[in-house]
């Protein structure tokens, strides 16, 4: 019997989820749930042009914030080498190795020295590194989306850090989501949710109880949102990547 998995996400080029699950005998189906649009590009452009002297660190919790920075940088007609070097010296705190990978690929002119970077798998693990910074060193530049969690800014502000937050992208429902969901059958073995916002958009379009199968969450935040919506995840990935998700699902099937 074919093992089928529906992943509520966009399929990327050389998608690790597709490659790993296919290699382990699964048939994969990807359903894009979210669209994202960059916001406040002019504000980000002005900050990049002025340089990072007022900031003690940069915080990026999503690769989509990197996309917004790259979009803003592409609109800058001139930036001095001194300003580029200053950005490259700025400590950067990132959530997720994918965010770091996108930063090095999309903004090498400003960020090409990973020795100044601190990367953690989740915001909770990144927070202790941020809390160790001196509070009087300067503002923390925090680029995040409209659906971001309150953990980092709330804890930093409570510790008397000055946080300069910019909403760098907004999350919307994928235009084709209702049509794609209407074509789902009840033949899949697994349904994987990747974010609370994605979960809620799916629930707006379909009753998930009509679909027979097991439920997986990419992480504890999504798992919590599922439980609050009345859906109990059968597995929760211990890290937000394809290998850990596959391992969790395979273990549960033994």
pLDDT (tens digit per residue) in 148-185: 878 899 999 999 999 999 999 999 999 999 999 988 87
Look at residues 162, 171, 197, 168 and name the one whose alpha carbon lies nearest to residue 41.
Answer: 168
Is 193's pLDDT higher than 90?
yes
Burial label for 229, CB within 10 Å (0-12, 13-18, 19+), is: middle
Architecture in CATH for domain 37-171: 3-Layer(aba) Sandwich (3.40)
Q: Which two tokens stand for residue 18?
A: 């597709």
Using the predicted structure, report yes or no on whether residue 92 has a pLDDT greater than 90.
Answer: yes
In the beta sheet, which residues pair with residue 214? 190
**Cα–Cα distance for residue pair 43/80, rounded to 1 Å:** 19
The answer to whether domain 3-33+174-252 and domain 37-171 are alike in fold is yes
**What is the arrangement of strands in the sheet containing 139-145, beginning at the earlier edge strand?**
34-38, 163-173, 139-145, 55-60, 92-95, 117-120
Domain spans of the chain, in order of start: 3-33+174-252, 37-171
Q: How many CB atoms lie within 10 A of CB 158?
A: 9
Is residue 1's pLDDT more than 60?
Answer: no
Confidence bin at 13 (pLDDT 50/70/90)? confident
- Other beta carbons less than 10 A from residue 149's beta carbon: 14
pTM of the model: 0.75
CATH of domain 3-33+174-252: 3.40.50.10090
Angle, vertex CA 223, rays to CA 220 and CA 225, nearest 5:
115
Q: Residue 106 — φ and ψ, nearest 5°?
A: -95, -20
């Amino acid at each position: 019997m074919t093992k089928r998995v529906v992943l509520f996400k966009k399929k990327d080029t050389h998608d690790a989820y597709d490659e790993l699950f296919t290699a382990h005998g699964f048939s994969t189906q990807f359903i894009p749930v979210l669209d994202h649009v960059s916001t406040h590009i002019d504000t980000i452009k002005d900050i990049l042009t002025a340089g990072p002297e007022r900031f003690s660190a940069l915080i990026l919790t999503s690769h989509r914030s990197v996309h917004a920075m790259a979009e803003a940088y592409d609109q800058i007609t001139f930036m001095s080498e001194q300003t580029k070097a200053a950005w490259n010296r700025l400590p950067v705190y990132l959530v997720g190795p994918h965010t770091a990978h996108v930063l090095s690929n999309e903004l090498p002119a400003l960020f090409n020295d990973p020795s100044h970077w601190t990367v953690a798998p989740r915001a909770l693990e990144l927070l202790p590194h941020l809390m160790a910074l001196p509070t009087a060193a300067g503002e923390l530049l925090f680029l995040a989306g409209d659906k971001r969690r309150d953990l980092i800014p709330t804890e930093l502000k409570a510790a008397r850090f000055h946080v300069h937050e910019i909403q760098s992208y907004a999350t919307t429902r994928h235009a084709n989501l209702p049509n794609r969901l209407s074509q789902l059958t009840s033949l899949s073995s697994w349904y994987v949710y990747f974010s609370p916002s994605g979960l809620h958009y799916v629930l707006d379009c379909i009753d998930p109880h009509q679909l027979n199968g097991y439920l997986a969450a990419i992480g504890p935040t999504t798992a919590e949102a599922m439980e609050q919506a009345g859906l109990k995840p059968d597995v929760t990935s211990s890290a937000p990547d394809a290998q850990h998700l596959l391992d969790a699902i395979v273990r549960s099937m033994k």
